[in-house]
Amino acid sequence: MEIESIVVQANYCFGEQPLQLSDLKKVNFIFAPNGAGKSTISNILAQQPRDASERRDWDVAGTNLPIRVFNEAYRSRVLTERVNGIFTMGDNSKDINDQIDDLQSQLRGHIDDREAWRKSIGSNSSAEDANGLIGEIEDTRASVRDSIFSAHKKVNQTVISVVFKGYRHSKEAFFNEAQKRFNEMESLKSDTTWESIETRARSLSGDKESRTKLPNITTDSLISTDDVTEVANKSAHGGGGTFSQLIQHLKNEDWVSKGRDFIDEAQGMCPFCQNQAPADLEQELSEYFAGGFDAALERSINIESTAKEREAVLEEKISALELALSRDTEIDDDDFRSSISSLRSAVTLLMSRLRERRAHPTQPIEVADVNVSVAKLSKLIWDENENIEQHNRIVDNASGERRKLVDDGWATFLSGTTVSVELKKFKGFESRKKRVIADLQAKIVSSELDTEKANQKIISLRDSVSNTIEVAERINDLLRAMGFHRFSLSIAGESNGGYRIVREDGTQAFDSLSEGEKTFICFAYFWESLFGSEVASGVPEDVVAVIDDPISSLDSDALFMIAAYIRDAANKSILGNTNLRQLIVLTHNTQFHHEAAYTANRDAKERRFFRLVKDLTGVTTVRDDGSKSRIRGSYALLWHSVVEAARSDDESDLVRVGVFNIVRRILEGYFKTIGNIRDFERPNNLSATEARVVSQFHVWANSGSHTISDDIDQTIDVGRTKDFLKLFKYYFDVQNHGPHFDMMVAASEGADLLKPDQLFARS
């Protein structure tokens, strides 16, 4: 949780009402002149409670994150000389170093203790190197395992193959099963005897398996009752036509019906007598057979087709039954084969009669369905399935008896005097050794917790001392990265937590450090403490950084480098890819503020800008500038005044003279320093007065403001201030610096004045 607001009560600085900075963002800049309360804010933030719950509810700046403060108090505290040019960084003292030494001694003792305890526990990674308590357990276990495995071989062979089945191939598997059953036994006494077990084993010898029930015949009929009646009755045909009496007299209509199929092939000849056929032969025959014969033929075909489909299903069931019968050796299949043969004969007879009916569709044919034969076969199947169910019940009971026999056999074996004594002794031996092992393992865990606490304590102490080689190397890397080569850090080996500052030639530099150099090395240490860790295994913690005027006594190069690092850290904090969760920068230096607060992102939602302003009574108040800085340099303020004058309708003497002086300062400041002034010829399109004003601009740009004041302010009448500003723009154009004029006007929120028909528009 980042800081959302800061509330500071300091009557001497902020009056009776506390100073409040609200709606803080990831990156916050507070600009204030000296004496406006920057140090008061940073000193109070440095007093954040240590307890995490108290931090969160702190009325000054609530957050669960630690606040790291860089200010004058930090600078005076962090860099302290001890003896002979040796110094420490952080809140260091001899007591802290002594505490670290004691804790490190304890850590070594913890390591020795754990090694001794682990050695006592031992291991059994292989039979050859088993040692310690674990090795003792393993050795005893192996001896008992071999003894018990040998004991089971003395049991009757009939019993062994049943009771100990599946465990005789491995001593380890046999012993594990023996231990498991021994631990589950409620009593070491068994009511059974080896003689009774042997008898039961013989009765259950052989592999009795469950049998599969026979499949039922689900098709019990091939022809319906109505179809039986249909086939048994003579079908009336009632045909007419010339040939009806002849066909009925000869009783050969089936033969004539077949002849119809050859009329087309006969090519005008009679298919019956091979003489010339009457022209209406086909029509006369169709008239006769349409009277009922064709309908009877179609019904006969349908009955036969349905019977064939049912016959195929029935045959499939019969084949499945035959396959089941062949697989079950317990069945006497003579009756089944006879019944199946009868059923197939009945099917054959029925299908033969139906084919005959199809050949003579109007003639009555007696047929019998196969349902009687199916019923007989189904009765045999049902009876045999009853026998199979009874057999399976017997087999299931035999399996249960076999399981009970196995349980009784193991119980009898384990309750034997020799086996039970050995297992009981081993169980007690193993239990005692494991209790000792558990106690040692608990000591190891406790020692590791103590080690972790000691390491945390050392880390906490080293936060103040920072006495590792890695810290010095990281600070030196930081100094080099910032282009600072005047000195570097080296480890003072004779002093725990101590460093020496040496120049490039190797000489000690602590006594000769300037205030700026001390500030710079303190900032380097502070910066390393934000993003680094003092121990190799350490992880930087998430922090809020408060930086109060880090540029005291620094030259411009150092100011630029520190500003660049702060700018980079601000970008990373906004992106969320660093442990720096929030940044608060306080400064009175305009240049440093612009350098550190610069961002190419115009939509700076995660940035917040504040100004501290002292009123005439000396009380500091807050100006909240939102997400855009209002701090400007002198040059930018002058241009801002030009834009305000261009918008103003006030033509008073005070405004007019003020604008003249502002323009004079812009011209002398820009062109003498940057603009590269060049001479120009008198413009032809200007009046004498306007040309004189432009020439005066040229004098200002060359001579500066220390010449004797002229009467230019008298040559421009009241109401002509805006014309004066137009000439001001014209002079920049004459000098080929018109783009600079446009840039500064736009940067001062006057971009609209550059548009067509506006004051600074170009024709």
What is the enclosing helix (H) or strand (E) of 545? strand 543-548
Phi and psi for 508 in degrees, rounded to 5? -70, 140
pLDDT bin (cut points 50, 70, 90) of residue 354 is confident
β pairing state of 67-70 and 79-83:
unpaired
pLDDT bin (cut points 50, 70, 90) of residue 30 is very high
Find which of 76-85, 86-95, 456-465, 592-601 is predicted with most confidence, using mean pLDDT.
592-601
pLDDT for residue 636: 79
What is the percent of the chain with per-residue pLDDT over 70, rounded to a whole number?
Answer: 78
Among the listed residues 405, 11, 6, the one whose alpha carbon sits nearest the alpha carbon of residue 190: 405
215 close to 320: Cβ distance less than 8 angstroms: yes
Among the listed residues 703, 709, 645, 632, the one whose alpha carbon sits nearest the alpha carbon of residue 669: 703
| pLDDT tens figures, 100-128 | 778 888 888 988 999 899 889 888 766 56
Of residues 739 and 555, the one with the higher pLDDT is: 739
pTM of the model: 0.46
The answer to whether residue 555 scores a pLDDT higher than 50 is: yes
Average pLDDT over residues 198-206: 65
pLDDT bin (cut points 50, 70, 90) of residue 711 is very low
The answer to whether residue 307 scores a pLDDT higher than 60 is: yes
Which residues does 227 contact at the CB level (< 8 Å), separation at least 6?
Answer: 303, 306
β pairing state of 27-31 and 580-587:
parallel
Query: What residues pair up with 21 in beta bridges, in sequence order?
Result: 6
Query: What residues pair up with 7 in beta bridges, in sequence order?
Result: 20
pLDDT for residue 4: 93
Amino acid residing at 211: R
Which residues does 92 contact at the CB level (< 8 Å), separation at least 6?
Answer: 80, 82, 464, 465, 497
Which CATH architecture best describes the domain 1-66+542-547+554-630? 3-Layer(aba) Sandwich (3.40)
The answer to whether residue 235 scores a pLDDT higher than 70 is: no
Sequence ranges of the domains in the chain: 1-66+542-547+554-630, 77-90+466-540, 91-189+415-465, 225-389, 634-754
| pLDDT tens figures, 468-520 | 566 777 778 877 776 777 778 877 655 556 778 887 777 777 777 777 777 88
Pairwise CA distance, residues 134 & 122, whole Å: 5
Average model confidence (pLDDT) for the chain? 79
pLDDT for residue 284: 53
Helix (H, G, I), strand (E, B) or coil at 69: strand
Q: For residue 314, count CB atoms less than 10 angstroms from its CB and return exposed for 0-12, middle for 13-18, buried for 19 or more.
A: buried
User: What CA–CA distances, in Å, run from 572 to 67, 531, 583?
Assistant: 18, 12, 10
pLDDT for residue 88: 65
Phi and psi for 21 in degrees, rounded to 5? -110, 115
Pairwise CA distance, residues 165 & 602, whole Å: 83
β pairing state of 499-503 and 6-8:
unpaired
The residue count of the chain comes to 763
422 close to 147: Cβ distance less than 8 angstroms: yes
pLDDT for residue 537: 46
Helix (H, G, I), strand (E, B) or coil at 539: coil
pLDDT bin (cut points 50, 70, 90) of residue 230 is confident
426 close to 141: Cβ distance less than 8 angstroms: yes
| pLDDT tens figures, 518-527 | 788 888 888 8
DSSP per position, 293-309: HHHHHHHHHHHHHHHHH
The answer to whether residue 69 scores a pLDDT higher than 90 is: yes
Phi and psi for 212 in degrees, rounded to 5? -95, 135
Structure tokens at 431: 């239990």
